[in-house]
Structure 1
Amino acid sequence: MAKSPEEMANAMIANMKEKTGKTLDQWLTVAKKSGQEKHGQVVKFLKSEHGLTHGFANLVAHKFLQSDAASAEGGDDALVAAQYAGPKSDLKPIYEALIKAVRAFGKDVEIAPKKTYVSIRRNKQFALIQPSTKTRVDLGINLKSETAKGRLEKSGSFNAMVSHRVRLESPSDVNKDVKAWLKKAYAEA
């Protein structure tokens, strides 16, 4: 059985000193002294200036910025609540419709909230849900075998971790086409 993201992160943290020469706390000090404030900047700094692999640099950046569920106070629920707070609160039913749809695919679907989006995984990420504006949720889907057309757009600059994007403005937008795209991405993951 595959390890959960938390189990993988804990294993990396346990092996960090042996693999990188420093403990997580020491790397957090390095990240703080860098002056970088964005995830990508921290990762780039740790890789280029300190030779960390992407996996370790990514883990340190998440821990430093407290952008992973394990670091965020309140965990997964708090991350999702923060995403749909204030002017984006009307978008929560879209999120809930998407979660209901993907949970129906099987018990191996993993819902992994991050600071600004929710990753949907099986063996690997096959979708992500992000409240992008106060009127729209963007659904990113990994469907490299599908040609972009109609509502299924190329992801473009939206997010490099997915191949396509679907813009959703109401729960009714989570229709049979969206569910079929998600199901296909789940099958390919």
Structure 2
Amino acid sequence: MNQLINIEASTGKSLKVFTDLVQASRLEKHGQIVKMLKEEHGLTHGNANLIATKARATLAGDINTPEDLLANLFPEKKLHLKPIYNKIASIAASYGADVTILPQKSGVSLRTKKQFALVTIPNMKAIKLGLKLKDVDATDRLNTAKGMCTHEVVIGDADDIDDKVAGWLLTAYEQSR
């Protein structure tokens, strides 16, 4: 989603505007849409490809609102984990108006200008809270991780979100600003 924000910032056009342009063009094939976006709107291939993919999905009725994405992350068999997510999201939102909670297909990104945490649901037993932390040592609960998240905490119950977990989340937030 960050790429979409960057596209809008550089072109002044939202995904909705580009979707309307794609619809007005009456082009249906992905490659034709990418070519049109590059030639007529000056987009790079990567940006044109993303816009074409999103626009075609929207026009086909595959609209993934944040609410839809969140509902898909918590189907009935994982619904018991939603209170854990709700508590994490509530804590993160309390840190400031600059916090964005962005549901995606595979998890929920917590971000300011940069992503500082990622909530994923790897199984039916727990939620994984990935954190981007600099100069923080692992503990028995805070494990090292690979990728964007340097650390992760596995949380099986909302009561497991104590002052330590909230403190790690706050540190990740503060370091992202």
The runs of 5 or more residues in structure 2 that have no matched partner are 14-20, 32-43
Structure-2 change in CA distance of 1:9 and 1:171 (3 Å): farther
What TM-score do the two structures reach when normalised by structure 2? 0.71
Distance in 2 separating the partners of 1:104 and 1:62: 34
DSSP 3-state at the match of 1:106 = coil
1:137 to 2:137 alignment: no
Matched residue, 1:183: 170
Identity of matched residues, %: 30
Distance 1:6 1:100, change over 3 A: same
Structure whose alpha-carbon radius of gyration is higher = 2
Q: Does 1:29 align with 2:16?
A: no
Choose from 77, 90, 108 the match for 2:98. 108
- Quote the residue 1:95 is aligned against: 85
Distance 1:103 1:79 in 2: 19
C-alpha displacement of 1:5: 6.8
Structure 1 spans left out of the alignment, 5+ residues: 16-22, 31-50
Shift in Å at residue 72 of structure 1?
Answer: 5.7
Deviations 1:128-151 (A, max 9, x none): 111110111000000022112211
Distance 1:178-1:61 versus aligned 2 partners, 3 A rule: farther
CA displacement at 1:63 relative to structure 2: 2.8
Q: Is the 8 A contact 1:139 1:168 kept in 2?
A: yes
**Aligned-CA RMSD value:** 3.5
Distance across 1 between alignment mates of 2:55 and 2:82 = 28
Task: Give SS of 2:122's match.
Answer: strand
- Deviant stretches of 4+, over 2 Å: 4-15, 23-26, 56-66, 71-74
Q: Call closer, same or farther: CA 1:145–1:88 in 2, change over 3 Å.
A: same
Decide whether aligned partners of structure 1 residues 57 and 94 sit closer, same or farther in structure 2, where only a CA change above 3 A counts.
farther
Give matches, 1:46-85, under 5 Å. 52=45, 56=47, 59=50, 63=54, 73-85=63-75
- With the length of structure 1 as denominator, give the TM-score of the two structures: 0.67
How has the CA–CA distance of structure 1 residues 85 and 181 changed in structure 2, closer, same or farther, with 3 Å as cutoff? Answer: same
Contact 2:74 2:81 in 1 (8 A): yes
Mapped contact 2:133–2:151 kept (Cα < 8 A): yes
Helix, strand or coil at the partner of 1:133: coil
1:10 matched to which residue of 2?
A: 8
Alpha carbons of 1:88 and 1:186: their partners in 2 closer, same or farther (altered >3 Å)? same
